[in-house]
């Protein structure tokens, strides 16, 4: 039986660990308690003696291919980028949500819609806790959900008392620990494609606490970027701006730095490899292919979100929220917008898959 010791050897040592936190979430939720997430976001043994060698952490790891076929079957995955029932460009009807959101606030609006009707008791989201830092957060109220909207980075120079980990990534799966402890039964999860993937693997095996996750919202993801002091300084030079002037950062086809005076500095993603997390180079899922709905800003006008509907549940939630908490883009203004947005998602998905395959080939050559 392979265990976490094999994950160290096969996943962590070659630098392939996504830090999705799935291995730790399962081991903690079932109270084996052998693993923990370190301060650097990496999983590690907290107490080796407690490991009963169940092998689940190994099987559910998205870097390990043991459950690939079962996971694809679970979500009716099909090539090239997963199951698709349709796509829309939409935004929240509530201007307060839109003002705080990354793009159109669709995710926050859908979570609120489900929460207000009692379909979910909570949502695992991610909240800003300091400059360039976010933490997983179990939102238990409307206010909690709204507070977690957006992809904001507090750039106030006065806030300095945080650890050295400055990153766009948030180990949201760690929020599953709270779900198991409460315990909650109807929870929505918002996360990156790798996080949705590990959740689905848990579902394939029917292990806790994935049974409580009823709605999976995936974020498009070109990669996870480090925003440490050196990286920030380099970005300032590349984009000719100062962080004190920044009010919002967003990732679409480029890194978009929104300044207080309304200007936007755009830095192409292919110039950001110096700050991209190593493991992300090997990741081939851009469009959150295992989610109920996947969202991103790519292909949508400023202030709107591109949404891919992937499951009947995703379709039902969006249909119910339409006209209440969500409004669709008026296609009369641009009849080809939906197909253009989809083409963009396909283009970036293919690019990511190609690049991941090249990195894997290089790694195999090195190993030989
Ligand atoms: C690391 C990362 C990379 C991304 N890369 C791309 C990209 O390359 N192209 C693209 O088009 N879109 C990308 N996105 C998605 C985009 O930034 C928006 O989140 C998406 O368009 C939804 O916008 P919204 O206004 O509808 O969501 P909102 O209503 O603003 O809600 C956003 C939700 O995401 C949660 N969240 C924010 N940050 C994180 C995080 N780090 N981890 C987990 N959950 C988080 C918030 O808690 C909130 O619930 C990325 C997002 C992240 C977090
Ligand atoms: S108890 Fe199971 S899940 Fe926990 S570390 Fe050991 S093998 Fe992995
Ligand atoms: S499950 Fe996630 S965090 Fe754990 S080893 Fe695999 S990739 Fe890393
Ligand atoms: S690119 Fe995104 S989905 Fe892939 S491992 Fe990195 S953070 Fe996870």
With respect to residue 52, please indicate whether it lies within any of the assigned structural domains. Answer: no
At 36-90, the pLDDT tens digits run 888 777 899 999 999 999 999 999 999 999 999 999 999 999 999 999 999 999 9
pLDDT given at position 193: 95
Name which residue sits closest to atom 6 of ligand 4, judged by CA.
280
pLDDT given at position 171: 63
How far is Cα 67 from Cα 355, in angstroms, rounded to an integer? 23
Q: Which ligand is nearest to the CA of 22?
A: 3
Kindly state the tokens that stand for 6: 């094999």
pLDDT given at position 162: 32
For residue 277, the CA-to-ligand 4 centroid distance in Å is: 9
More confident: 74 or 32:
74
* CA 178 to each of CA 111, 122, 135, 137: distance values in angstroms, whole numbers, following the listed order: 18, 11, 13, 9
Q: How confident is the model at residue 175 (pLDDT cuts 50, 70, 90)?
A: low
Contact of 256 with 278, CB cutoff 8 Å: no
List pocket residues of ligand 1, CB cut-off 6 Å.
Answer: 101-108, 125-126, 134, 148-151, 168-170, 172, 190-192, 219-222, 224, 250-252, 295-298, 305
> Which range among 93-97, 240-244, 252-256 has the greatest average pLDDT?
93-97
Per-chain mean pLDDT for the chain = 89
How far is Cα 255 from Cα 233, in angstroms, rounded to an integer? 15
Q: Which ligand is nearest to the CA of 279?
A: 4
Which of 14, 169, 192 maximizes ligand 4 atoms within 8 Å of its Cβ, making it the mutation to test the pocket? 192
pLDDT at 335 over 60: yes
Across 68-77, 147-156, 198-207, 319-328, least confident range: 147-156
Which helix (H) or strand (E) is 217 found in, with range?
strand 213-219
199 lines ligand 3 (CB under 6 A): no
pLDDT given at position 156: 41
Name which residue sits closest to atom 4 of ligand 3, judged by CA.
23
pLDDT at 166 over 60: no
> For residue 183, is the peptide bond before it cis, meaning its omega torsion is within 30 degrees of 0?
yes
Kindly state the tokens that stand for 25: 């979430």
Q: How confident is the model at residue 247 (pLDDT cuts 50, 70, 90)?
A: confident
> What domain range includes position 284?
68-226+276-367
pLDDT given at position 18: 87
With respect to residue 53, please indicate whether it lies within any of the assigned structural domains. Answer: no
**CATH number, domain at 170?**
3.40.640
Q: How confident is the model at residue 134 (pLDDT cuts 50, 70, 90)?
A: low
| For range 101-106, the mean pLDDT | 95
Q: What is the DSSP letter of 225?
A: B
With respect to residue 231, please indicate whether it lies within any of the assigned structural domains. Answer: no
Q: List alpha helices for the chain, DSSP H.
A: 4-7, 22-29, 56-60, 68-74, 95-100, 106-116, 142-147, 176-181, 193-205, 229-239, 312-321, 337-367
pTM: 0.93
pLDDT at 132 over 70: no
What domain count does the chain have?
A: 1
With respect to residue 333, please indicate whether it lies within any of the assigned structural domains. Answer: yes
Strand, helix or coil at 113? Answer: helix
223 lines ligand 4 (CB under 6 A): yes
* CA 75 to each of CA 123, 124, 176, 217: distance values in angstroms, whole numbers, following the listed order: 21, 21, 21, 13
Q: What are phi and psi of 36, to 5 degrees?
A: -150, 160
At 110-130, the pLDDT tens digits run 999 999 999 999 999 987 766
For residue 192, the CA-to-ligand 4 centroid distance in Å is: 6
Which of 1, 2, 4 maximizes ligand 2 atoms within 8 Å of its Cβ, making it the mutation to test the pocket? 4
Three-state secondary structure along 47-86? CHHHCCCCCHHHHHCCCCCCCHHHHHHHCCCCCCCCCCCE
With respect to residue 203, please indicate whether it lies within any of the assigned structural domains. Answer: yes
pLDDT at 98 over 80: yes
pLDDT at 154 over 90: no
pLDDT at 243 over 80: yes
Percent of the chain with pLDDT over 70: 90
Side-chain-side CA neighbours of 346 within 13 Å: the count stands at 11
With respect to residue 39, please indicate whether it lies within any of the assigned structural domains. Answer: no
Contact of 125 with 145, CB cutoff 8 Å: yes
Strand, helix or coil at 123? Answer: strand
Q: How confident is the model at residue 164 (pLDDT cuts 50, 70, 90)?
A: very low
For residue 288, the CA-to-ligand 4 centroid distance in Å is: 10
pLDDT given at position 91: 98
Across 25-29, 149-153, 236-240, 307-311, least confident range: 149-153
pLDDT given at position 161: 31
With respect to residue 351, please indicate whether it lies within any of the assigned structural domains. Answer: yes
For residue 7, the CA-to-ligand 2 centroid distance in Å is: 10
With respect to residue 100, please indicate whether it lies within any of the assigned structural domains. Answer: yes
pLDDT given at position 182: 78
């Amino acid at each position: 039986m392979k265990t976490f010791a094999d994950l160290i050897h096969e996943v962590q040592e070659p630098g392939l660990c996504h830090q999705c936190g799935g291995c730790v979430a399962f081991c903690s939720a079932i109270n084996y308690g052998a693993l923990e997430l370190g301060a650097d976001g990496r999983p590690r043994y907290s107490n080796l003696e407690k490991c009963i060698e169940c092998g689940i952490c190994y099987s559910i790891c998205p870097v390990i291919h043991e459950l690939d076929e079962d996971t694809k079957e679970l979500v009716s995955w099909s090539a090239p980028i997963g199951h698709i029932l349709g796509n829309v460009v939409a935004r929240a009807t509530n201007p307060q949500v839109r003002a705080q959101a990354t793009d159109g606030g669709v995710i926050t609006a859908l979570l609120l819609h489900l929460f207000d009707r009692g379909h979910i008791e909570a949502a695992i989201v991610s909240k800003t806790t300091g400059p360039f830092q976010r933490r997983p957060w179990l939102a238990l109220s409307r206010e909690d959900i709204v507070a977690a909207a957006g992809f904001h980075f507090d750039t106030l120079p006065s806030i300095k008392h945080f650890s050295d980990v400055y990153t766009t990534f948030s180990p949201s799966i760690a929020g599953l620990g709270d779900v198991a402890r409460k315990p909650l039964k109807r929870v929505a999860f918002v996360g990156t494609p790798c996080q949705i993937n590990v959740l689905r693997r848990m579902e394939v095996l029917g292990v806790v606490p994935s049974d409580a996750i009823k709605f999976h919202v995936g974020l498009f993801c070109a990669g996870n970027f480090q925003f440490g002091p050196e990286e920030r300084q380099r970005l300032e030079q590349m984009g000719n701006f100062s962080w004190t002037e920044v009010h919002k950062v967003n990732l679409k086809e480029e890194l978009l730095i929104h300044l207080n005076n309304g200007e936007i500095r755009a830095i192409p993603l292919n110039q950001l490899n110096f700050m991209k997390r190593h493991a992300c180079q090997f990741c081939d899922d851009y469009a959150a292919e295992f989610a109920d709905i996947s969202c991103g800003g790519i292909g949508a006008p400023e202030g709107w979100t591109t949404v891919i509907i992937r499951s009947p549940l995703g379709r039902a939630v969006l249909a119910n929220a339409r006209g209440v908490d969500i409004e669709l883009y008026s296609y009369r203004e641009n009849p080809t917008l939906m197909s253009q947005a989809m083409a963009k998602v396909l283009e970036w998905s293919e690019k990511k898959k190609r690049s991941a395959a090249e990195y894997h080939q290089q790694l195999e050559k090195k190993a030989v």
